[in-house]
Amino acid sequence: MLKDRHILLTGAARGLGAEIARSLAGHGARLIVADIAEDEGRATALEVGAEFLPVDLADPASIAALGAAVSELTHGALHGLVNNGAIATGIGGIPFDQIEIDSWDLVHRVNVRGTWLMTRACAPMLRASGSGRVVNVASDTALWGAPNLLSYTASKGAVMAMTRSLSRELGPDRVGITAVAPGILTTPSTDYVPEARHRLYSEGRAVPGPQAPGEITDVIAFLLSEGALTLTGQTLPVNNGFVFK
């Protein structure tokens, strides 16, 4: 499906990102993985046969440097970008009126501005490939309105809105952009989530039970393929039927 397609994946060091890396490599992608956690990111890259590059999504200069390095590796033509890197832990369980402003700002610098700047840095390469695809990893929390998680849900709602707008700006160059909105997945990053929230998802899904990260990675792989252009601008809730859109 992705044979010989150059794909850049951010947030690849652990959890869902590492699972996405394994899936994309298995589908034949020529993969470049990036993360702020360099040791774990390099380990993922070594496991899947990918190139590793460091990036701090809160730092515009770091994102620009990553874009330049990717351009060198791909000779200026990138077929896919997965904006998976985000802050998702340590920010939940806090009522909206108790969120620290610095925490709010950091979440939005990484999750929203980082996604925008990463897409901007890669856009010339995506256009040059002739069949560029972008997949933004959002969250279904922004679709159903999860409480006590406002900085995160607001950031992921913004990612969905950017996906729609960017589809119209990138579409004339046949660059497709979509978002996936998973629910709670069984990764170490969700260990902090209260058991009641896990149970809400497990019992409320059309397909009951927990959902492993590997259950959504093939969807992401398809959205990076040439055949996915007709879905541009869409957000797909990949949550086994917990939320219908």
The answer to whether residue 192 is catalytic is: no
165 or 192, greater pLDDT:
165
Range of the domain at 146: 6-236
Confidence category of residue 174, pLDDT binned at 50, 70, 90: very high
- 208 within a domain of the structure (yes/no): yes
242: in domain: no
Whether 1 is in a domain gets the answer no
In a domain, 113, yes or no: yes
CB within 8 A of 131, min separation 6: which ones?
Answer: 79, 174, 226, 229
* pLDDT beyond 80 at 196: no
Q: Looking at 35, 139, 152, 220, which residue is catalytic?
A: 152
Arithmetic mean of pLDDT, 3-10: 97
What average pLDDT does the segment 43-56 reach?
98
Q: How confident is the model at residue 203 (pLDDT cuts 50, 70, 90)?
A: confident
Confidence of residue 191 (pLDDT cuts 50, 70, 90): low
Tell me the CATH number at 11: 3.40.50.720
Convert the pLDDT of each residue in 61-98 to its tens digit. Answer: 999 999 999 999 999 999 999 999 999 989 999 999 99
On whether the CB atoms of residues 50 and 13 are closer than 8 A, the answer is no
pLDDT attached to residue 192: 62
Residue 23 in any domain: the answer is: yes
Residue 190 pLDDT: 64
Whether residue 221 lies inside any domain: the answer is yes
The span from the CA of 167 to the CA of 163, in Å, is: 6
pLDDT at 33 over 90: yes
The chain-wide mean pLDDT, for the chain, equals 94
Instruction: Examine the pLDDT at 214 and tell me if it is beyond 80.
Output: yes
pLDDT at residue 242, as a whole number: 83
Lowest mean pLDDT among 43-57, 106-120, 123-137, 173-187: 173-187
Report, as an integer, the average pLDDT of 147-165: 97
Cβ-contact 85, 17 below 8 angstroms: yes
- Provide the token pair at 184: 């709670």
Tell me which residue of 152, 170, 67 sits closest to 112, measured CA to CA: 152
Structure tokens at 234: 């869409």
Residue 241 within any structural domain of the chain: no
Q: What is the number of domains present in the chain? A: 1
Query: Which band of pLDDT confidence, cut at 50, 70 and 90, is reported for residue 241?
Result: confident
Residue 137's DSSP bridge partners are 180
Residue 244 lies in a domain: no
